[in-house]
Amino acid sequence: MTPRLRNVSPSLMYGLMYKTSLTRQAEKDARKLEQVGLKQKTIYLLRIIRNNPFQNPPPYEKLQGYEAVYSRRITIQHRLVYQVLPNERNEIDESGIPYKGKVKIIRMWTHYE
């Protein structure tokens, strides 16, 4: 069954958000961040990334040597590292609107380990 789009503006037909997913390592990192009291800051950054992974501020930087991989600072030591991918399968959100793209969260603990 195909979801019906009712009262949806044509400008919304292209999607407003990016679908986010976490790697296993990022899931482990999330538990560590919660233990050290950085959960709220991380959630704030994840919401920004889900809406627009290229929003500035807060600043982000492209990681050299990787394709479409970026990082944002959680603290001086910890960074949120993510990859932006196109929505090749035309996945849709719960309201039937296609996502703009996908964001894979790679790491959320220190990226120097």
Q: What are the tens digits of pLDDT across the range 42-96? A: 999 999 999 999 999 999 999 999 999 999 999 999 999 999 999 888 888 888 8
Q: Please state the pTM of the whole predicted model.
A: 0.81
In our burial notation (b when 16+ CB lie closer than 10 A, e otherwise), range 47-81 reads: ebbbeebeeeeeebeebeeeeeebbbebeeebbbb
Q: What are the tens digits of pLDDT across the range 87-113? A: 888 888 888 888 999 999 999 997 555
- In order of their start, the domains of the chain are 16-107 (3.30.2310.20)
